Amino acid sequence: MKSHNIDIRVYYEDTDAGGVVFYGSYMKYCERGRTELLRAINVNNSEIFKTDGVFFVVRKLTADYFLPALLDDMLTLTTSVERIGGASMDMKQILTRDGEKIFEMDVVMVCIDTDKRPKKWPDVIRNGLS
């Protein structure tokens, strides 16, 4: 299955008053990682909505915070596809600093149509991520 890396710089806007990354910022980082994984297979979220009438939602996530990320840190986020089902996809996202794991998230994504009903993953996504 496919995986993709992006680098993330921690900015002041990502942190709390103590210079530690706010827990919600990790969700933002992971959203970027999933978006860039799709871009790596030439899938654009707004275009796939126009062409196939589908979009992707988080059904479930589990996050583990091992070490704090800090202001000005340079992080690497690896987003990996672990399983592609009919309308769901299991992904793992690992954030590291200098090769050390500081955060990990398991996420279940679901492909839905404009009526908010599950829909089979488009072939361009299934083939690109397999």
Active-site residue, from 7, 14, 16, 106: 16
Sequence-separated (6 or more) residues with CB below 8 Å from residue 50: none
16 is catalytic: yes
Phi, psi at 123, each rounded to 5°? -55, -35
Q: What is the C-alpha separation between 110 and 108, in angstroms, rounded?
A: 7
Please identify every residue annotated as catalytic: 16
